[in-house]
Chains A and B, each alone.
Chain A
Amino acid sequence: MADFLFFVVFVTAVFFIGQHIQKKHFASLEAREQALLYLPAVVGRKVFNDDDVERAWLVHGTVVVSGDYFKMMLAGLIKFFGGRISAYESLLDRSRREALLRMKEAAASEGAHMVVNVRFETSKIDGGNPSQQTTGMFEMLTYGTAIRLKAQ
């Protein structure tokens, strides 16, 4: 009984802390996306004539994220019956946007006008072990070619 009460208190605390962190992160993402709206990041490879380009260089943004204990619980619960695992959808969305933003911030800091040939990649760092109640973590990498155009 005592371990069950501890479990309930622990998971509830993790839920509220996790939701608070997530909310703050989404607010930060929205503000930074708004600030960098002027800098397009596209998947196209050849958007300009080579003659118009003053400089091109590699930029990348990377982030390592992990789900919290509550998300792991929820994912495990839904996994049993199947369905959309919204707990991880928000985690992946945050990581994609964060990596893209970091890449755009790197490009903007060197005066880029645009990032082309943008790609996303992900790799697992630690798969976690649900039987030992540990969550996994993964890396989200975004990279592309930053372009600075010649003055017209």
Chain B
Amino acid sequence: MRFVARELTENVNISPGGEGKSFIRGILILCAVFFAVYFALIVMVDALISYVPEKVDRALAGIFSPYIQTPSEWETDRQRIEGVLSSMLERYDGPVYDFRVDILDHDEMNALAFPGGNIVLTSKLVESLESENELAMILGHELSHYRQHDHLRGLGRMIVFMGLMTVWSAGTNSNPLGQYVVNSIGTFDLKYSRKQERLADEYGLKFLVTRYQHAGGAVCVFEKLQEEYAAQEKIPFLQFFSSHPLIGERIRHLNELIGSRGYEVRQQLPLTFDLPERSELPPS
């Protein structure tokens, strides 16, 4: 048999289609699948959240409570805040919890709603207060989160988010692509979070007006926040990456509501806190 040299005209060992196309197709499929799974699970979480038994909520509170302890020096101030909360609870129409307020030693102005009805205010926020009305607005905002089960929703969404991250990491040895896809899903979550915060502001205002018959103090805390975080507010596109609406936007919205609903703004009841120095350093 005679050898005849033949040139290969096509390569059967490489699949047709470019790598770029393959990459784009892969990304689109990945996004579609992750988004579909994420939204399906979120719908499920939202549907089931109101059926979560109280004992689960209490058990969750047990996880966080060791980390949220009001320093003994601030116990009197804590009780004063709880006194204001008690006067508001008569008008509260959400799920009943054994509500408790704690003061967390922290140099940021913030308030949080933890499972089990544990409202946490940071020391910096407490020291910035100048009236009972301001405090009532903050507590009303946090009570709204309990009314809407936001604290459980937040946890549920976090579990779904972390679950997707884990599935991706396990399936692909932590390929960074999927992490970016899952993170981009997180921005949708932030949009939802901003909506819930806006609703909580509206409910807080309603609560304040029902309790004091005027809207004085509704925007004061936000004005202090705006002053504190003025530099941050100037970051372009910040609203897309924030869990809360921008502070200026919140003030505008509240002022619009006060105007459109014809709420009066009268003198506020003075209430200040001068938290004593702590004898022990806060836990890091």
Interface SS, A side:
helix
SS of B interface (majority): helix
CB distance from B234 to the nearest CB of A (A): 16
Of A38, A92, A131, the contact of B5 (CB 8 Å cutoff): A38
Q: Is the CB of B5 within 8 A of A77?
A: no
Tell me the residues in window 45-90 of chain A with beta carbons closer than 8 Å to chain B beta carbons: 70-74, 76-81, 84, 86-87, 89-90
- A81 and B29 CA atoms in complex are apart in Å by 9
Using Cβ atoms and an 8 Å threshold, which residues of chain A touch B5?
A: 37-38, 40
Q: B22 at interface (Cβ–Cβ under 8 A)?
A: yes
Complex contact A76–B177 (CB within 8 A): yes
User: What residues of chain B lie closer than 8 Å to A81, measured between beta carbons?
Assistant: 26, 29-30, 33
Given the complex, which residues of A lie within 8 Å of B174, measured CB to CB?
Answer: 130-131
Complex-state Cα separation, A113 to B46, whole angstroms? 76
The answer on a CB contact under 8 Å between A93 and B11 is yes
Binding site for A on B (CB under 8 A): 3, 5, 7-8, 11, 13-15, 17, 19-20, 22-23, 26-27, 29-30, 33, 168-169, 171-178, 180, 183, 241
Tell me the bound Cα distance from A37 to B177 in angstroms. 43
Within the complex, the shortest CB–CB distance from B16 to chain A, in Å, comes to 8
Closest 7 CB pairs of A and B: A76-B175, A130-B173, A131-B174, A77-B26, A86-B15, A37-B5, A76-B172
Contact A73–B180 (Cβ < 8 Å): no
Q: Closest Cβ of chain B: how far from A123's Cβ, in Å? A: 20
